Each structure stands twice: as C-alpha cells, then as structure tokens.
C-alpha cells in the first residue's frame, strides 16, 4: 500500500465515525448513555430495537416511508422514460425550453413549496396519504430521472431504433422489447436516484402527513422533542433508516458514479 | 447526435409535463398570489401590490439570513470541491477495493437528512458525544448550543461529512473515463504529475466538476433539515439560514404575504445563479 491510499482510508474512517457512534448509542441503556462517555456499550442491550419492532407507531413509520418511496420511484421513472426518449431522439417545438424548465424544478427550494403543497394536497383530499408525499416528490425526481435517462439514452446509437423500425417493429413494441433492455443500467440508476432523494427528503414528507402516513424519520424528531431524552431509542430508529440505503447502494455500486454524472461520462 | 424533427414527440412528454405542472405551477401560482395580497383571517384577501417585496428586501432580518446562507454556501464550496477532487485522485482505479470504497463513500448520501442532523447532534453533545467531549478534553471550549462559532463549525463539518462523497464520486467517474493512452503519451513526453493533472485530468473533469459545483451550490443554498435538527437555527439567530427563516415565517407565524415574497426572491436567486453558472460553463465547453 502506498502512502496515497491513506487519503481515502482516512476519509472513510471519518465517514464511518458518526455512523459507529450512532450504532454504539443504539445498543446502550439510557442510564449508560447519560452516565458519561463510553466508547462501546458496556451493558449491551437490544431493548431499543425491541420497542421499535413491537410498537405499531414506530414500525408503521417504516412502512409509510417505504410505501411513498416506492410509489414515487415507479411513477417518476415510468413517466420519465418516454419523455427522456423524446428529448434524446427528436427535436420539437420548445424542446430546449421545456428541458430547462424541468431542471428549474430541481432547483426549487422545498421550503418554498411546503405551504402551497400543504394547501394543494388538502384541497384534493390526499393529505396524510403516501400518495401526497409520492406525488410531491415527483417535483424534483421527475426532472432528475429525465436528466439521467436522457444521458444514458443518448449513448445508444440511433441506428438501433432505425433498424428496428425497418424490421417492422411498432414504436411501443420496440421500446419495451429492445430499447428498455438496452438501457437497463440507466433505468436502474434512475430508480436508485429517485429512491435516494425520496428517502432522504423530509421537509415535504413531514408537512404533508399528520398521523397515518408519518414517515419514520419524522417520527424520530417528534420523539426527540416530546419524550425528553430517549437517545438510545432515537439512535436505534436512526440506525434502522440506514438499512434500505445500504441495500440499494450494493446493487448499483458500479453505476453510482456514472449516475451522479447523469449518465454523461 | 442529429435529431429528427418530430412534433408528435410532445405526446411522449405529455405525462411528465402534466405531472410536473400540477406540482410546480399550481403551488407557484399560490405563492405568487399570496405575495401580492394581504390576508385577514378567514380567506379574506386584499390586493397589496409589491408591498411585501419592498418589506422583505428592506428587512434586516432577510439581509442577515441571506448573508449567512451565502457565507455557508461559499465555505462549503471552497472546502468540498478541492477535498473531493483530491480524494478522487488518490483513490485506486481498479482492484477489489474500488467497490468497497464507492459503497462506503456513498453511504452518507442515503441517510435521511434529519437522521444526519440527529446523528451529529449525538456525536457533538459536549458532555456525552465523542466529538464534543473529545474537543473539550483537548482543551477547546466547545458547546454548539451556546457558541455561534462552535455551531458553525459543527454544521460545516456535518455538511462536509454528508456531501463531499458526491464530489468524490463525480470526479472519480470523470477520472476513470480518461483513456489510458493519454497517460502514456504524457509519460513519453516526460510530464510531471502536476502537468498531468493540469493539462489532462482537469480539462477532462470539467463537465463533471460543473455538475458537482452546480449540485453542491443548489443543495447547500437550500439546506434546511439537517441544520434545523442540529441547531434549530441557534444559538440566537446565528445559524438561521434563508430556508429556515422562510419556514419560520410561513409555517411558524403564518405571515403568508412576506413569506411568499421571500420565497419568490429566494427561488429567483437560486435560479439566476444556477443558470448563469450553467451557461458560462457550457459556453466554454462549446468553444
């Protein structure tokens, strides 16, 4: 190992330190946490996790989060696919302006939209359902999905389409049978990013839910403020939110970087 | 790629346009509505022209929030972009460690933002957190709930922890895409490491670095959840950024008019700077 590898190694240690501390806290009893600084749990306990898995308000939070994240991912990618194809293959009236307009929505601060969203989704009767959160997250996820997919699609030579049409394929048959498998990696990456940004966003998710569809991460904030100092429980809930992320990263590990570059590297 | 002109492509775009319009145009019009009206309790609204905009633009509170937000974004960009680039340059290009590095580095990006805040909250507690206790043990006076400087230090460290990986991953993707032949040519010419970086790697990384700076600019300028969970905008108002101030005004005090005017100004600033930056970088690209 050369001295150069020290840089990423030190960086990774820095990244893992807060995560370790969170896990460490989650296995401690409240007494031990408040008793002072201990580098590892001396009285190892799983009580904090037990509370989360037995109390419906806690585990329903997870279900609610997963629910809106999945709806959002499916919806965003499904509508983004044909749009990205149009942007990558055709020129039409207002295409460039439309593309930039889509991007501006990625730039809109969620803080700006919190209140109007609350009113809009209350008015259409979706408030406090996973659909409200899923739909509101399409605001920034659709532009992102279109952007990523367009990048991947532009890497596919146009001859593929033309050959298929010559062979007598109808558009949709070509799209589903040939084109989508060709850009499968891109679709995977787009799904990953939609999943990620919907999973981590909270301001809108919190504003658009009250009881039934409250996401897990928002429940945590409530616990922190109402029931005083249950740091162990808070840490356990936090640790569990790392799991879905870690799982999906594993599947796209070789494409993450390309995805962040929006498929254009 | 030369594209064919086809107006029917609009049908393929239609679902996206409808969905995004529902989510973007209706709320945006609501905001515009509020920004030019005065509200009295039960849905009674009066036209108030540009008064709220004048109020907000002249308010010291807005100036300071904007100043803090800009300072934060500037610090973040100055630290994260070079650091991320340096780490990407030092990363191995092939071998089993690459995947391990990438997965571990991407981990912070997938943690819900308020969990990030809560995590650093726990880590930085002056009495029982590793960071807080450690700093105090080393003789620094550190308490992020009392001293503005400590609060800023914690927030910046948290953001570096949270987002530097984005820059690393992007730069790394750019570096990997440089063909081996370029390096061989440089070697034959006897180029030093600095020259390789300056004349081969940096130009090739321009596109990904543009995206990295753009994303980091937008997201750090819109930062909300992590900071609210960590410091709640305090101590005092020392970490009340524009977004936090906005949510306080809109959802906390229900001052809809000023909040809406502030929203629009805020959105326009982000939009303008992003657009400016994007076109500047892309024009250089085309040249």
Q: Provide the mean pLDDT of chain B.
A: 82
Residues of B in contact with A4 (CB under 8 A): 90
Q: Per this entry, what is the length of chain B? A: 287
Contact state of A15 with B165 under an 8 Å Cβ cutoff = yes
Report how far residue B161's alpha carbon sits from residue B111's, in angstroms, rounded to the nearest whole number.
12
- Residue B21, CA distances (Å) to A105, A244, B3, B25 in order: 10, 31, 26, 5
| Of the candidates A159, A156, A160, the residue with the CA atom closest to the CA atom of residue A185 | A156
* CATH number, residue A166: 1.10.3720.10
User: Looking at residue A226, what is its pLDDT?
Assistant: 47
Contact state of A220 with B133 under an 8 Å Cβ cutoff = no
> Is position A105 within any domain?
yes
The total domain count for chain A is 1
| Of the candidates A103, A104, A258, the residue with the CA atom closest to the CA atom of residue A186 | A258
> Is position A35 within any domain?
no
Phi–psi pair at A247, nearest 5 degrees: -65, -50
User: Looking at residue A227, what is its pLDDT?
Assistant: 47
Report how far residue A167's alpha carbon sits from residue A161's, in angstroms, rounded to the nearest whole number.
10
A60 CA: distance to closest CA in chain B (Å)? 17
User: Looking at residue B287, what is its pLDDT?
Assistant: 45
Residues of A in contact with B225 (CB under 8 A): 202-203
> Is position A77 within any domain?
yes
For residue A193, what are the domain limits? 55-222+241-260
User: Looking at residue A258, what is its pLDDT?
Assistant: 65
Q: Which residue has the higher pLDDT, B191 or B72?
A: B72
Tell which B residues from 110 to 149 touch A, by Cβ distance under 8 Å. Answer: 110-115, 118-120, 122-123, 127-130, 133
Range with the lowest mean pLDDT among A85-94, B41-50, B205-214?
Answer: B41-50
Contact state of B107 with A234 under an 8 Å Cβ cutoff = no
User: Looking at residue A28, what is its pLDDT?
Assistant: 81
> Is position A190 within any domain?
yes
User: Within an 8 Å CB–CB cutoff, is residue B233 touching chain A?
Assistant: no
Chunked mean pLDDT (size 10), chain A, 265 residues: 78 89 83 73 81 81 88 94 90 82 79 81 86 88 87 85 88 89 86 88 82 74 57 83 84 70 58
Contact state of B110 with A249 under an 8 Å Cβ cutoff = yes
Question: Nearest residue on chain A to B14, judged by CA atoms?
Answer: A83
Residues of B in contact with A257 (CB under 8 A): 102, 169-170, 172-173, 176
> Is position A231 within any domain?
no
User: Within an 8 Å CB–CB cutoff, is residue B218 touching chain A?
Assistant: yes
**Number of C-alpha atoms within 13 angstroms, CB side, residue B256?**
21
Report how far residue A140's alpha carbon sits from residue A113's, in angstroms, rounded to the nearest whole number.
11
Residues of B in contact with A136 (CB under 8 A): 23
Question: Nearest residue on chain A to B220, judged by CA atoms?
Answer: A109
Question: Nearest residue on chain A to B169, judged by CA atoms?
Answer: A257
User: Looking at residue A82, what is its pLDDT?
Assistant: 92
Handedness of CA B188, B192, B193, B195 (dihedral sign): negative
Looking at residues B172-196, what average pLDDT do you find?
A: 85
User: Looking at residue A81, what is its pLDDT?
Assistant: 93
Q: Note the CATH architecture for domain B63-242+267-286.
A: Orthogonal Bundle (1.10)
- Express as a percent the part of chain B with pLDDT over 90: 9
**Cβ–Cβ < 8 Å for A171, A89:** no
Contact state of B6 with A79 under an 8 Å Cβ cutoff = no
DSSP code for B2: P
Considering only the beta carbons, identify the residue of A135, A201, A262 that sits closest to B23: A135
Strand-pair partners of B5: A91
Looking at residues B190-214, what average pLDDT do you find?
A: 84
Contact state of B16 with A146 under an 8 Å Cβ cutoff = yes
User: Looking at residue B76, what is its pLDDT?
Assistant: 93
User: Looking at residue B157, what is its pLDDT?
Assistant: 92
B189 CA: distance to closest CA in chain A (Å)? 24
Report how far residue A161's alpha carbon sits from residue A178's, in angstroms, rounded to the nearest whole number.
9
Considering only the beta carbons, identify the residue of B19, B127, B177 that sits closest to A79: B19
Question: Nearest residue on chain B to A171, judged by CA atoms?
Answer: B12
User: Within an 8 Å CB–CB cutoff, is residue B276 touching chain A?
Assistant: no
Residues of B in contact with A119 (CB under 8 A): 30
User: Within an 8 Å CB–CB cutoff, is residue B179 touching chain A?
Assistant: no
Report how far residue A15's alpha carbon sits from residue A20's, in angstroms, rounded to the nearest whole number.
9
B188 CA: distance to closest CA in chain A (Å)? 23
Contact state of A79 with B15 under an 8 Å Cβ cutoff = yes
| Of the candidates B135, B264, B172, B139, the residue with the CA atom closest to the CA atom of residue A37 | B135
With a cut of 80, say whether residue B201 has pLDDT above it: yes
> Is position A215 within any domain?
yes
ipTM of the complex: 0.82
Contact state of B123 with A18 under an 8 Å Cβ cutoff = yes
Q: Please, which residues have CB within 8 angstroms of residue A138's CB and are 6 or more apart in sequence?
A: A72, A75, A76, B19, B20, B23
Question: Nearest residue on chain A to B99, judged by CA atoms?
Answer: A253
Considering only the beta carbons, identify the residue of A12, A89, A261 that sits closest to B3: A89
Looking at residues B81-101, what average pLDDT do you find?
A: 85
B218 CA: distance to closest CA in chain A (Å)? 6
With a cut of 60, say whether residue B39 has pLDDT above it: yes
Tell which B residues from 65 to 94 touch A, by Cβ distance under 8 Å. Answer: 86-87, 90-92
Looking at residues B230-238, what average pLDDT do you find?
A: 79
Considering only the beta carbons, identify the residue of B13, B90, B122 that sits closest to A98: B13
With a cut of 70, say whether residue B110 has pLDDT above it: yes
* Spans of all domains in chain B: 63-242+267-286
Considering only the beta carbons, identify the residue of B115, B128, B243 that sits closest to A220: B115
What is the enclosing helix (H) or strand (E) of B42? Answer: none
Residues of B in contact with A234 (CB under 8 A): 118, 122
């Amino acid at each position: 190992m050369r001295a150069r590898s020290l840089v990423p190694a030190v960086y990774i240690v820095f990244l893992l330190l807060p995560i370790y501390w969170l896990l460490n806290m989650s296995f401690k009893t409240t007494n031990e946490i408040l008793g002072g600084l201990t580098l590892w749990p001396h009285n190892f306990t799983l009580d904090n996790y037990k509370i989360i898995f037995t109390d419906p308000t806690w585990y329903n939070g997870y279900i609610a989060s997963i629910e809106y994240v999945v709806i959002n991912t499916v919806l965003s990618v499904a509508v983004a696919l044909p749009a990205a194809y149009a942007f990558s293959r055709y020129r039409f009236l207002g295409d460039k302006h439309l593309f930039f307009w889509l991007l501006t929505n990625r730039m809109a601060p969620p803080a700006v939209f919190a209140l109007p969203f609350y009113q809009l989704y209350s008015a259409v009767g979706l408030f406090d359902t996973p659909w409200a959160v899923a739909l509101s997250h399409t605001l920034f996820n659709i532009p992102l999905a279109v952007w990523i997919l367009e990048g991947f699609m532009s890497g596919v030579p146009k001859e593929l389409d033309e050959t298929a049409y010559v062979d007598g394929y109808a558009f949709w048959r070509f799209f589903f049978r040939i084109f989508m498998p060709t850009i499968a990696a891109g679709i995977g990456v787009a799904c990953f990013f939609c999943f990620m940004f919907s999973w981590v966003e909270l301001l809108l998710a919190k504003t658009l839910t009250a009881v039934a569809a409250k996401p897990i991460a928002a429940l945590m904030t409530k616990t922190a403020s109402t029931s005083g100092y249950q740091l162990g429980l808070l840490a356990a809930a936090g640790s569990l939110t790392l799991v879905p992320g870690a799982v999906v990263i594993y599947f796209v590990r070789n494409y993450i970087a390309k995805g962040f570059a929006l498929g254009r590297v | 790629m030369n594209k064919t002109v086809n107006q029917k492509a609009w049908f393929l775009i239609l679902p996206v346009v409808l969905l995004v319009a529902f989510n973007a145009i209706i709320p945006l019009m609501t905001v515009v509505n509020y920004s030019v009206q005065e509200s009295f309790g039960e849905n009674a609204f009066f036209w108030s022209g540009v008064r709220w905009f004048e109020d907000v633009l002249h308010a010291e509170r807005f100036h300071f929030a904007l100043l803090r937000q800009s300072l934060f974004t500037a610090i973040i960009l100055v630290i994260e972009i070079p650091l991320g680039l340096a780490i990407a340059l030092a990363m191995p290009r092939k071998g089993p460690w690459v995947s391990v590095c990438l997965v571990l580095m991407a981990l912070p990006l997938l943690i819900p933002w308020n969990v990030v805040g809560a995590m650093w909250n726990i880590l930085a507690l002056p009495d029982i957190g590793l960071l807080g206790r450690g700093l105090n043990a080393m003789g620094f006076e550190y308490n992020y709930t009392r001293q503005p400087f400590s609060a800023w230090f914690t927030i910046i460290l948290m953001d570096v922890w949270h987002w530097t990986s984005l820059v690393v991953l992007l730069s790394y993707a750019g570096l990997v895409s440089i063909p081996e032949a370029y390096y061989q040519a440089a070697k034959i010419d006897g180029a030093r490491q600095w020259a390789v970086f300056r004349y081969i790697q940096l130009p090739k990384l321009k596109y990904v670095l543009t995206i990295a700076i753009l994303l980091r600019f937008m997201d750090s300028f819109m930062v909300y959840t992590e900071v609210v969970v960590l410091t709640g905008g305090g101590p005092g108002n020392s970490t009340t950024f524009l977004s936090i101030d906005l949510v306080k005004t809109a959802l906390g005090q229900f001052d809809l008019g000023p909040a809406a005017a502030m929203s629009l100004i805020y959105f326009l600033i982000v939009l303008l700077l992003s657009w400016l930056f994007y076109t500047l970088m892309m024009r250089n690209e085309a040249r």
